[in-house]
Amino acid sequence: MRRLTHLVLAPSSRFARLLVAEKRLACDPFAAEDALAHLPVFTELDGTRYEGLWAIVDHLEGTYPDHPMTPQDDNARAETLRLFDWAMGQLQDTVTRRIVFEKGAQRFTGASVRSAPDMNTIRSGREALKGALRKIGETAEQRGYLACRDCTLADLAVAAHFSALDYFGEVPWDEFAAAQEWYMRMKSRPSFRSLLADKVPGQPPVAHYAELDF
């Protein structure tokens, strides 16, 4: 059996879970106990390990092309990779690290050990989140999804972050209808089912987290 070793609330791990599910692969998800490990890790049927996002993306996109998540069109492909890089770089640094990594337990996020959440850090993340929501909403309205008319790696990457933020009820959906509509489409995809079933011990999700119409 294939195995995906991951951290429940880490966006990189959530992205890998979404990608594996979009590929329709039978896979045993294994929640890691050691947050210091290099995660996520995808283990193939023959035991080969693929550590980190780019290794996993390269392997899954190259080995299982029946359900591609990277467009063939050069412009759409470039935009997909640009947004993927933005999600795992700027969005993670300015929003997710300042909110999810502050509020979530270290063993589930991989965040640095701290004594208590820093509210100033969380507030700065919330302000940055508003700009990201505005940008995502405008882009989705223009293109349908984020990079083009089809769901791509870019959508999975951004949705992975938003799902972690939404777990804590940190996304002001009512203020950003276009972003909410895009996220509702993502949330309704079969690949999202395992994420919506997540429940971290001692930190349950907000009431609307698993609802498809919210």
Structure confidence by residue, pLDDT tens digits, 122-173: 999 999 999 999 999 999 999 999 999 999 999 999 999 999 999 999 999 9
State the pTM of this model: 0.93
CA angle 109, 16, 99 (to 5 degrees): 30
d(CA 66, CA 49): 22
More confident call, 154 vs 111: 154
Q: What is the pLDDT of residue 110?
A: 63
Instruction: Please state, for a pLDDT cut of 90, what percent of the chain lies above it.
Output: 81
Q: Which two tokens stand for residue 93?
A: 């640094």
Q: How many domains does the chain contain in total?
A: 1
34 pLDDT band (50/70/90 cuts)?
A: low
Q: What is the pLDDT of residue 33?
A: 65
- Residue 171's nearest CA partner among 102, 125, 111, 114 is 125
Q: What is the rounded average pLDDT for all residues in the chain? A: 92
User: Is residue 89 classed exposed, middle or buried when 0-12, 13-18 and 19+ CB atoms within 10 A define those classes?
Assistant: exposed
> Residue 113 pLDDT more than 60?
no
CATH number of the structural domain spanning residue 137 = 1.20.1050.10
pLDDT tens digits, one per residue of 45-90 = 999 999 999 999 999 999 999 999 999 999 999 999 999 999 999 9
- Residue 133's nearest CA partner among 170, 101, 100 is 170
Q: Which long-range contacts (CB under 8 A, 24 or more apart) does 136-144 make?
A: 136/176, 136/178, 136/179, 136/182, 137/176, 137/177, 137/178, 137/179, 137/180, 137/181, 137/182, 138/178, 140/178, 140/179, 140/181, 140/182, 141/178
Q: What is the pLDDT of residue 47?
A: 96
Question: Which range scores top for mean pLDDT: 7-11, 116-120, 144-148?
Answer: 144-148
> Residue 35 pLDDT more than 70?
no
Domain enclosing residue 130, as ranges: 1-214
Give the strand pairing for 49-51 and 41-43.
Answer: antiparallel
d(CA 163, CA 186): 10
